[in-house]
A = this chain, B = another copy of it.
Amino acid sequence: MDYETPQFFRVMQYAARAERDVVDMVSGSPDWEPPETLREGLREYADREADAFAYPPSIGLTPLREGIAERRGVDRSRVLVTNGAGEANHLAMTEAIDRGSGREILLTDPVYPYYAGRANLLDAPTHYLPVDHDGQLDPAVVREAASDETAVIVVNSPNNPTGAVYPAETLAELAAIAEKHDAVLVSDEVYDHFDYTGAFESALAHDSDHVVVTNAFSKSMAVTGLRVGYAVFPPEDGPMSDLLDAARTRHMLSVVAGSHPAQFAVLRALQETPPDYYEDNRALLRERIRTFTDALDAAGADYTTPGGSFYVMARFEGFPGTMANVQRLVDEAGVAGMPGEAFGESRADWFRFALVTPRVEEATNRLATFFE
């Protein structure tokens, strides 16, 4: 399979060139407002003394690392601030392979395409593990696939694209499998604020030396463009402390540091945004999911109600989610989704719709008309 990340861009370009109005259900960028406190943080930064425009510490602003550590219940020394969750995952995967305990990568199918792209970049043998209809990963499948050749297992819960929220026991078992094979479990929790099941629990709960948790403020604060994320590495005094050292070095040599104004603004928002902000966005998404899945029911589609994140995968009988059909939906229905093949072989028949548009209802009407 060719995990060409630009598939996102190809669909978006196609939609932009369409002669009709198109509802964008492709991109994963939240459409709602960032916290007002974040805007205030940027304004405050703009007025700071000249020395505030200098390099932040390579590992991130100290109070930001402190704020993250406090919320995650870990020691600050374990937190590396990165250029979004993207860099956090990149560093975690790269160092997990570079440490030399195996070279193999375990990913799920369907998969978030960037993980697959990074596996290609690292030129590492990669196995794709099937998930069930609801997107759940059976630990027995992982146990069967894992060996001492396994360097890293990458999971994402709440999941893009399936919307699955893994139970705590799944993550505990995955951590145990990583430990058994001296591998690393990378748990990407970037959608942790978008859990509608109440069951989400961070992989950090398992207190394993073989777990790296990655995250970002991109989705929770609706600021994918700021590029502020982080990774929580195993403790500095534990057997896997080399991972953090190596990641810090690679981060310094590849990007030097993250952007100072972005970190400053996120810190302000982290400290001062009321819980309502996050709750309101969750409520908004619940409502959109309900609206959209009702329409899918009406259209007789097969779909999964997401337990988390803000994507819905669906398939329509006689209308598989190929790129050609994605283009037909753009031209004939005025709705742009992603072809399932972008996420792996197992969901090649499916579409993925991102519910981060204020026009979910409009999209449902258009789809209902198209499929009626």
Contacts and interface: CB of A to CB of B under 8 A. Distances in A.
A86 B259 CA distance: 13
Given A31-B50, A47-B39, A255-B83, A56 B90 contact: no
Interface string A15-28: 00000000000010
A22 to B, nearest CB: 15
A42 interface: yes
16 contacts: A29-B51, A29-B54, A39-B47, A42-B42, A42-B45, A42-B261, A54-B224, A55-B225, A83-B258, A84-B255, A86-B253, A117-B252, A118-B253, A121-B253, A225-B259, A227-B256
Contacts of A322: none
Given A46-B43, A225-B261, A249 B83 contact: no
- Please classify how large the interface on chain A is, using the bins under 10, 10 to 19, 20 to 34, 35 or more: 35 or more
The 3 closest A-B pairs by CB, nearest first: A225-B260, A259-B259, A86-B256
A87 B42 contact: no
A33 interface: yes
Dominant secondary structure of chain A at its interface with chain B: helix
Contacts of A261: 42, 225-226, 259, 261-262, 265
A196 interface: no
A319 interface: no
Contacts of A296: none
A260 B257 CA distance: 15
Contacts of A117: 249, 252-253
Interface string A86-101: 1100100000000000
A32 interface: yes
A261 B56 CA distance: 16
A270 interface: no
Contact of A87 (B34, B40, B54, B254): B254
Given A32-B50, A46-B39, A83-B83, A55 B254 contact: no
A223 interface: yes
A106 to B, nearest CB: 18
A25 B260 CA distance: 22
A180 interface: no
